[in-house]
Structure 1
Amino acid sequence: MPHIDIKSFPREFSEQEKQALADDITAVIIKRFASRTEAVSISLQHILPEDWQSSVYEPDIIGQQDYLIKKPGYSM
């Protein structure tokens, strides 16, 4: 039951673009996890740049370094 949680700065996506993103990510997850489409869920949250450090960087990146499989190339 993989769940992917995407957090990014605000960006407008059409419904088609969201679906294409979900389809691409789902294909990779199915391949790497030997999962089924029905088992994958994906969320997309837009975080304002001024909230990034407190809402994402500190709790999800610094606070969960042991779980990161790719670390960012920036620091705050």
Structure 2
Amino acid sequence: MNNNMTKELKNKIADYQRFGFILLAVSTFFYVGLVLPEDKSFIQSVTLGSASLICLSFTALMYNTVRKCKVKLQEISN
């Protein structure tokens, strides 16, 4: 039982880290689209900025979840 929970938590940690990294990359692309000098309307700029911030927020949420899972994994291991 303990080994099963440890394996499950390790898998969750790896998944959340991957997802967080992907969201960070997507957020970077949105930000680059925002700062590149092109003829964009105000709505497009706001949309790109908002999408970048939303992706960054979800990235922070994923890494916070990773931190909580690591703490739980340490508690199970001890």
Report the TM-score when normalising by structure 2: 0.32
- Give the strand-richer structure, 1 or 2: 1
Which of the pair is proportionally richer in helix?
A: 2
TM-score of the superposed pair, with normalisation by structure 1: 0.33
Highest CA radius of gyration, 1 or 2?
A: 2
